[in-house]
């Protein structure tokens, strides 16, 4: 797809006009008044000089000068009003429509389009296009009219200049081309350092945010990290200053050159016009008019150069914005098989599945095949990086496998609409972070009028969080963190895991997946969860990921993974009897558990 300047301009204005009925009116009024205002001002000055040098009477003052003054005031008022209204519409459109487009796209995108670093970088650049009026969409909305206004003004004023002093037009055009080249070089250099600037800005934002973050406050004070933070901030700031200086040097050179050209212009223009006055070829009033026209022509030229360079800058961000919106989903978001015809408990089958994460070429899952029977409880165990969580991401549709098939009751998972398909799963990930909403919101993921209170409290009780919630002043309506409510609370790591488990239980999907559900739980809470696990998964197919091999006793089968492959498969007792890697790992853990118990 083309992301040229003209294509980007067409896209931005097409979308803006679609959502604003009045923006065209403001644009037309502003276009006409921007052209008329300086011309009327020049006419007014010329008329005053003409009246003074030709001895005109009061009638001339009242009819011409006062008339021009009133006309100038009216046009200037319309210019100011239309500019304010057009600018307001630009800001509103950027902050609403274009922001909503991008937000909606991100919410509807496949997870594999937002998690990898390369994708996050593209998303960051896309949001930059709508984050302010310095880059991107609003910069384009402001400068397209300016470009058209300046081109029209150049043509009109240039025609008048050509009639009297054509050589001045040539001098001005040469100077403008040189200034355009110098400014373009400065802009090109700035764009070449954009990624460096963005990276340093992100690093600076990350550090300054963490300084005030209570989660890091204890470590900063106990381990005396203040100097370390300051040193890093100073280093980043110095790098930013060095880049800023290099950029500014190029702009300073372009601006100084432009100032010198203006002096040359004034010298040439005044020399020519004064010689014409001395020769008697033009009158003083005409001299005044032409100096105003030449000055106006220079302003149009400079305005054209500035608008052209700004558009060149803005189109880079708009291109990233559009590229982000044009990122295609890999999963099935259209029509699919009727999910309601699937009967639980489900059979899950991986057939020769291979997968590498987008930013790497290293296979995490390599030609993996297995089958889970209906109602079977399976544990996935293995070292970090063995591929356990990746299997869950592939199974739940967060990522699409590079090769192979994933079947549910014999049907390819991609034959279902992905939203319908995801409704089959209740999942608890170990790294889940709840939104800063109420406990009820987080667990039910529903509006208040649709919440089943009995089911909510049943989920809280089974997860072990009911007592905690009932002890709170606002019960389930208590906010998490203080972002939206100052009375909000912070949950411990173990409580967050219980909260996520309650959410999975409330959803009550036929496939339950627990990824390290006891990692942050105390031993008693862990034991309670294990005792309930059989009840929670009764008659349902389920997967359980854990580093603690003792927990696998509650499962029907255990898959021991290594480098994306299943190297051992069987029940806990069978794998112990096999006396291989699983037993070796189990024995090592057993030593630590015994030592802890003795202590």
CATH of domain 339-424+509-598: 3.40.50.300
Inter-residue contact 79 to 30 (CB < 8 Å): yes
DSSP assignments along 534-558, one per residue = HHHTTTS-EEEE-S-GGGGGGSSEE
Distance, CA of 557 to CA of 566 (rounded, Å): 12
Residue closest to 525 by CA, chosen among 590, 463, 456: 463
Name the token pair of 58: 């009061």
pLDDT for 597 equals: 45
Distance, CA of 400 to CA of 111 (rounded, Å): 10
Beta strand pairing status for 542-545 and 511-515? parallel
Extents of the domains making up the chain:
5-325, 339-424+509-598, 435-503
Inter-residue contact 562 to 575 (CB < 8 Å): no
CA 168 from chain center: how many Å? 48
Per-block average pLDDT, block size 10, for the chain (599 residues)? 89 87 89 91 84 75 83 93 88 83 90 88 86 84 92 88 77 77 79 75 71 70 75 82 82 79 77 84 84 84 86 90 92 90 91 91 91 93 89 94 95 94 90 87 90 93 90 92 85 86 90 79 65 73 82 87 93 92 85 52
User: Are both 5-325 and 339-424+509-598 of the same fold?
Assistant: no
Distance, CA of 479 to CA of 326 (rounded, Å): 36
Q: Between the CA of residue 348 and those of 16, 137, 261, 389, 519, what are the distances in Å?
A: 48, 47, 75, 16, 26
SS3 content of the chain, % helix, strand, coil (to 5): 65, 10, 25
pLDDT for 598 equals: 46
End-to-end alpha-carbon separation of the chain, Å?
Answer: 66
3-state SS assignment for residue 18: helix
H-helix or E-strand spanning residue 377: strand 377-382
Inter-residue contact 322 to 5 (CB < 8 Å): no
Distance, CA of 599 to CA of 593 (rounded, Å): 10
In the 3-class helix/strand/coil scheme, how is 500-520 assigned residue by residue? HHHHHHHHCCCEEEEECCCCC
H-helix or E-strand spanning residue 172: helix 166-192
CATH of domain 5-325: 1.20.1560.10
């Amino acid at each position: 797809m083309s992301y040229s300047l003209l294509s980007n301009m067409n896209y931005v204005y097409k979308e803006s006009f679609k959502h604003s009925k009045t923006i065209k009116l403001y644009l037309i009024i502003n276009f006409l008044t921007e052209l008329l205002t300086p011309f009327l001002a020049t006419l007014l000055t010329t008329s005053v000089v003409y009246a003074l040098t030709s001895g005109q009477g009061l009638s001339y003052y009242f009819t011409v000068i006062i008339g021009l003054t009133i006309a100038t005031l009216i046009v200037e008022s319309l210019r100011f009003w239309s500019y304010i209204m057009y600018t307001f519409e630009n800001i509103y459109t950027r902050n609403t429509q274009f922001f909503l487009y991008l937000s909606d796209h991100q919410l509807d995108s496949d997870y594999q389009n937002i998690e990898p670093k390369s994708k996050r970088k593209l998303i960051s650049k896309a949001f930059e296009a709508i984050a302010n009026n310095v880059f991107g969409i609003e910069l384009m909305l402001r400068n397209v009219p300016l470009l058209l206004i300046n081109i029209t003004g150049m043509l009109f004023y240039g025609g008048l200049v050509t009639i009297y002093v054509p050589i001045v037009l040539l001098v001005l055009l040469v100077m403008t081309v040189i200034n355009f080249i110098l400014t373009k070089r400065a802009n090109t250099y700035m764009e070449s350092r954009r990624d460096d600037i963005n990276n340093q800005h992100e690093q600076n934002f990350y550090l300054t945010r963490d300084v005030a973050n209570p989660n890091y406050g204890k470590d900063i004070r106990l381990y005396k990290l203040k100097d370390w933070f300051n040193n890093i901030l100073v280093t980043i700031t110095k790098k930013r200053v060095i880049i800023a200086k290099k950029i500014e040097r190029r702009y300073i050179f372009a601006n100084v050159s432009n100032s010198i050209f203006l002096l040359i212009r004034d010298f040439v223009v005044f020399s020519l016009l004064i010689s014409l006055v001395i020769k008697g070829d033009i009158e003083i009033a005409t001299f005044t008019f032409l100096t105003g026209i030449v000055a106006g022509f220079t302003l149009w030229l400079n305005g054209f150069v500035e608008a052209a360079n700004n558009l060149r800058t803005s189109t880079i961000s708009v291109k990233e914005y559009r590229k982000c919106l044009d990122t295609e989903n890999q999963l099935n978001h259209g029509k699919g098989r009727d999910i309601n015809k699937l009967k639980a408990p489900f059979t899950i089958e991986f057939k020769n599945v291979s997968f590498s994460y987008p930013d790497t070429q290293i296979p995490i899952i390599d030609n993996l095949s297995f089958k889970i029977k209906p109602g079977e409880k399976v544990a996935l165990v293995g070292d970090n990086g063995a591929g356990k969580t990746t299997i869950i991401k592939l199974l739940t549709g967060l990522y699409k496998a590079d090769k192979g098939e994933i079947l549910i009751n014999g049907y390819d998972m991609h034959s279902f609409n992905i939203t319908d398909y995801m409704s089959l799963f209740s999942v608890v990930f170990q790294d889940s972070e709840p939104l800063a909403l109420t406990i009820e919101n987080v667990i039910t993921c529903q509006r208040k009028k649709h919440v089943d209170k009995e089911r909510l409290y049943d989920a809280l009780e089974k997860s072990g969080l009911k007592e905690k919630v009932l002890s709170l002043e606002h019960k389930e309506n208590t906010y998490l963190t203080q972002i939206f409510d100052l009375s909000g609370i912070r949950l411990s790591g173990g409580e967050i895991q219980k909260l996520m488990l309650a959410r999975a239980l409330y959803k009550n999907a036929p496939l339950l997946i627990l990824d390290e559900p006891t990692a942050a739980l105390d031993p008693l809470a862990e034991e309670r969860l294990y005792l309930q696990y059989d009840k929670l998964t009764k008659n349902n197919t389920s997967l359980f990921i854990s580093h603690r091999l003792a927990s696998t006793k509650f499962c029907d089968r255990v898959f021991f993974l290594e480098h994306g492959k299943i190297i051992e498969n069987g029940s806990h007792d069978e794998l112990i009897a096999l006396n291989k890697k699983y037993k070796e790992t189990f024995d090592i853990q057993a030593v630590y558990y015994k030592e802890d118990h003795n202590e």
